[in-house]
Homo-oligomer: A and B are copies of this chain.
């Protein structure tokens, strides 16, 4: 499944993108900050999260190389952090930004994807969520069989709204049933993709959308 983000417009010659590097869990920007720029992942993975008064964390989305994030204005709706080593291009000027039409398209896509996410959260079991997550991970990273899982169990748990225990148990369960194999905690082999797909449910998730 491809990216549905509209192409960017404007010449970057006007303000060349700056390459920024972040380490494990370093903050790219913080919830509530004034938004002055947006980012494109070069290498590594970024995550956006919201933190709640009760100390709870919600991982909204993961961004992979080529993905764009941090487009929202005027304030950051969420905090962006590096999952492991991360390189991003920062664009400082709003002149270099999706045009208005595309902005609307972007928001619509974001809304649609958010709704699929609500479906995942509201209507699917732990096993279905994990299956769907792995499949999407494979799709998004272009992996066929050997899927890299660079984020921690805690990241996955806070994204799927489960605990690390349930994630771990569920993954073990999928292994036991022969749907996947675990070379190591960060490397999953998909053995029986059709079964995994069946488990995840037909309802494909729409691709993620930058914000």
Q: Judge if A112 is at the interface, Cβ distance under 8 Å.
A: yes
Q: Is the CB of A112 within 8 A of B77?
A: yes
| Dominant secondary structure of chain A at its interface with chain B | helix
> Which candidate, A19-27, A52-60, A176-184, A185-193, is the interface stretch facing chain B?
A52-60
Q: Is the CB of A122 within 8 A of B119?
A: no
Residue-wise, chain A 121-154 has the 8 Å CB interface mask toward B (1 for contact) of: 1110000000000000000000000000000000
Q: Is the CB of B107 within 8 A of A111?
A: yes
Known contacts A118-B121, A123-B52: A104-B112 contact under CB 8 Å:
no
Known contacts A104-B103, A104-B107, A107-B111: A118-B118 contact under CB 8 Å:
yes
Q: Judge if A161 is at the interface, Cβ distance under 8 Å.
A: yes
Q: Is the CB of B112 within 8 A of A111?
A: no
Complex contacts, A68 vs chain B, CB 8 Å? none
Complex contacts, A37 vs chain B, CB 8 Å? none
Which residues of chain A from 54 to 98 have any CB-CB distance to chain B below 8 Å in the complex? 54, 56, 58, 60, 72, 77
Q: Is the CB of B161 within 8 A of A119?
A: no
Q: Judge if A29 is at the interface, Cβ distance under 8 Å.
A: no
Complex contacts, A100 vs chain B, CB 8 Å? 100, 104
Complex contacts, A104 vs chain B, CB 8 Å? 100, 103-104, 107
Beta-carbon nearest neighbor of A202 in chain B: B53
Residue-wise, chain A 105-118 has the 8 Å CB interface mask toward B (1 for contact) of: 00110111011011
Q: Is the CB of B53 within 8 A of A118?
A: no
Q: How far is the CA of A118 from the CA of B49 in the complex (A)?
A: 13
Name A118's contact: one of B72, B112, B114 (CB within 8 Å). Answer: B114
Nearest chain B CB to A12 CB, angstrom units: 24
Given contacts A52-B119, A54-B201, A111-B114, 8 further A-B contacts (CB under 8 A): A50-B115, A52-B203, A53-B202, A56-B123, A104-B104, A107-B108, A118-B118, A122-B161
Closest 8 CB pairs of A and B: A107-B107, A122-B161, A114-B114, A121-B121, A121-B122, A111-B111, A56-B123, A110-B111
